């Protein structure tokens, strides 16, 4: 991926930063040596993500996609195709936020599967990264990645079954750890049981979870939580995560 000449120490691999104003995003990027992956929710926010990629070149990485929560009718399939086209035209190497959700929006699961298929085929044919939403569908999504022979994908805010973690690791896929780690037991358990080498950090900003206002500036705290749970030095954790991100995302 071109344009990552800015040094960074922390990485947020899943942030809806298109929801910020340019001034807000500028201030966040100025506050810490941080690289932010911006995920999109639909075609419109994908365009805004592209705009921010141009504005903040080298400091953010774009992912274009149609979020499972944005899938409301058959038209979403066509919207997914257009989003893929937009990504390919612009040399974007990541599709997200994409995936399947039976936990919060199970009533649209059949439509979601049709939409996700568009993204899976594009990722397979063009070697694109998938930035994944997998609430309640961890195993189904992992099996689809295997069936489509997807090269690399990140499971955002992983709270899935622990027994899938070795399979995720075997494929070289990653899971990202969210500021919810402060209070969410299931997420703390994932960190205790997964190898550091498959972990990345994220914020899912500006989402709010049980009183935690997600922000990319919280990834430093996430690193500290991971270090504490695993009994490791925070500097070592930060550097391992930075290096995993560089390998999987920037130098592919
Ligand atoms: Zn998200």
Give 187-211 pLDDT, tens digit per residue: 999 999 999 999 999 999 999 999 9
Separation of 98 CA from ligand 1 center, angstroms?
9
Separation of 179 CA from ligand 1 center, angstroms?
13
Report percent pLDDT > 90 for the chain. Answer: 96
- Domain positions in the chain are 10-250
Separation of 67 CA from ligand 1 center, angstroms?
8
Separation of 136 CA from ligand 1 center, angstroms?
15
Q: Is the pLDDT of residue 175 over 60?
A: yes
Neighbours of ion ligand 1 (CB under 5 A): 97, 204
Separation of 21 CA from ligand 1 center, angstroms?
18
Separation of 60 CA from ligand 1 center, angstroms?
16
Q: Is the pLDDT of residue 105 over 90?
A: yes
User: What pLDDT, on a 0 to 100 scale, did the predictor assign at position 252?
Assistant: 85
Separation of 132 CA from ligand 1 center, angstroms?
8
Separation of 15 CA from ligand 1 center, angstroms?
6
User: What pLDDT, on a 0 to 100 scale, did the predictor assign at position 4?
Assistant: 53
Q: Is the pLDDT of residue 3 over 90?
A: no
Q: Is the pLDDT of residue 183 over 60?
A: yes
Separation of 113 CA from ligand 1 center, angstroms?
18
Separation of 156 CA from ligand 1 center, angstroms?
7
Residue 38, judged by CB atoms within 10 A of its CB (0-12, 13-18, 19+), counts as buried
Q: Which residues have C-beta within 8 Å of that of residue 251, sequence separation ≥ 6? A: 1
d(CA 154, CA 176) in angstroms, rounded, equals 7
Q: How far is CA 29 from CA 6, 16, 39, 59, 128, in A?
A: 11, 14, 16, 8, 25
The closest alpha carbon to 242, from 193, 199, 178, 187, belongs to: 199
Superfamily of domain 10-250: Metal-dependent hydrolases (3.20.20.140)
Separation of 158 CA from ligand 1 center, angstroms?
12
Q: Are 210 and 199 in contact (CB under 8 A)?
A: no
As a whole number, mean pLDDT of residues 183-190 equals 98
With cut-offs at 50, 70 and 90, classify the pLDDT of residue 6: confident
The closest alpha carbon to 216, from 252, 250, 176, 246, belongs to: 176
Q: Is the pLDDT of residue 2 over 70?
A: no
Separation of 157 CA from ligand 1 center, angstroms?
8
Report percent pLDDT > 70 for the chain. Answer: 98
User: What pLDDT, on a 0 to 100 scale, did the predictor assign at position 113?
Assistant: 98
Residues listed for the chain: 252
Separation of 247 CA from ligand 1 center, angstroms?
22
With cut-offs at 50, 70 and 90, classify the pLDDT of residue 7: confident
As a whole number, mean pLDDT of residues 101-110 equals 98
pLDDT, tens digit (0-9, with 9 covering 90-100), for 43-99: 999 999 999 999 999 999 999 999 999 999 999 999 999 999 999 999 999 999 999
As a whole number, mean pLDDT of residues 151-176 equals 98
Separation of 140 CA from ligand 1 center, angstroms?
19
Separation of 154 CA from ligand 1 center, angstroms?
12
């Amino acid at each position: 991926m071109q344009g990552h000449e800015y040094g960074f120490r922390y990485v947020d691999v899943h942030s809806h930063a298109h929801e910020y104003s340019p001034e807000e995003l500028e201030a966040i990027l100025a506050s810490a040596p941080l690289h932010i992956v911006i995920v999109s929710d639909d075609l419109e926010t994908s365009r805004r993500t592209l705009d921010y990629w141009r504005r903040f070149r080298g400091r953010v990485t774009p992912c274009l996609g149609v979020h499972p929560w944005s899938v409301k009718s058959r038209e979403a399939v066509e919207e997914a195709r257009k989003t893929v086209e937009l990504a390919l035209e612009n040399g974007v190497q990541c599709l997200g936020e994409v995936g399947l959700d039976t936990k919060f929006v199970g009533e649209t699961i059949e439509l979601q599967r049709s939409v996700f298929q568009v993204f899976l085929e594009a990722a397979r044919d063009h070697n694109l990264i998938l930035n994944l939403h997998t609430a309640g569908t961890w195993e189904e999504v992992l099996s689809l990645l295997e069936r489509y022979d997807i090269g690399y994908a990140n499971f955002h805010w992983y709270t899935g079954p622990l027994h899938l973690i070795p399979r995720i690791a075997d494929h070289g896929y990653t899971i990202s750890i969210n500021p919810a780690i402060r209070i969410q037991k299931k997420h703390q358990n994932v960190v205790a049981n997964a190898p550091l080498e498959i972990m990345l950090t994220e914020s899912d900003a500006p989402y709010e979870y049980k009183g935690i206002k997600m922000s990319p500036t919280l990834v430093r705290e996430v690193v500290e939580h991971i270090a504490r749970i695993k009994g490791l030095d925070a500097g070592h954790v930060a550097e391992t995560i930075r290096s995993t991100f560089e390998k999987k995302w920037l130098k592919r």
